[in-house]
Amino acid sequence: MGRWPYSKREIVENCWKLDVFSLNRFGVFKRDFVEGILSFGKEDKMGFVFDRDKLLLILFYEIKNRKTGKVEEREEVIHLTTTPTNLGKGGVRYWFLCPHCGRRVATLYRPVRINKMLPFRCRTCYNLTYKKQKEHDKTIDFLVKRIKTEGDIRKVVGNVNSPHSIFKIVKVLERLKE
């Protein structure tokens, strides 16, 4: 699967998030074999099994297929890997391997607003952005529309000595050059 087109770029804040920090906090990695339930939002739940020897996290859940209207049973297999911690003592840190691209990541996302049936993947695979970044992009688009010349930039951006303004100017100039 390719990247999402820019216009459909989803923000991470609208996604379900599965992160190693939470699993670690709940003690999942401390045991050889753990079964449990993950909940997302108010109603959505998934069962999970973690096998430490195999470094496997299996998610299972029921989901209503939007096309057929039938409830389907689903299973997602997520492989993990470890790296040594700086603390020594043989401690390890756990990471997910993205089920699609294999990247080592701490967080996997599910863009449920686009489609609840999409599986967990990394931020890069879904081309997700952060809310702040998107708002910033909007600001830049707005400036680009109003600015035709480098002289106009000063009128819109104002104080060019502030680092924030300088950053905006650089971005705008980059856009003007395109």
Q: Which residues would be at the binding site for Zn ion (CB under 5 A)?
A: 98, 100-101, 121-122, 125
Q: Which is nearer to Zn ion, 24 or 127 (CB)?
A: 127
Q: Which is nearer to Zn ion, 92 or 101 (CB)?
A: 101
What backbone torsions phi and psi does residue 24 show, to the nearest 5 degrees?
-65, -45
Compute the least distance from the CB of residue 9 to Zn ion, in Å. 16
Compute the least distance from the CB of residue 127 to Zn ion, in Å. 10
Handedness of CA 138, 131, 95, 38 (dihedral sign): negative
Distance between alpha carbon 97 and the CA centroid of its chain, in Å?
Answer: 13
C-alpha dist (Å) from residue 109 to 19, 140, 144, 162, 166: 9, 27, 32, 36, 34
Q: Which is nearer to Zn ion, 48 or 120 (CB)?
A: 120
Q: Which is nearer to Zn ion, 2 or 151 (CB)?
A: 2
Compute the least distance from the CB of residue 87 to Zn ion, in Å. 29
Compute the least distance from the CB of residue 102 to Zn ion, in Å. 7
Compute the least distance from the CB of residue 120 to Zn ion, in Å. 10
d(CA 137, CA 158): 19
Q: Which is nearer to Zn ion, 107 or 157 (CB)?
A: 107
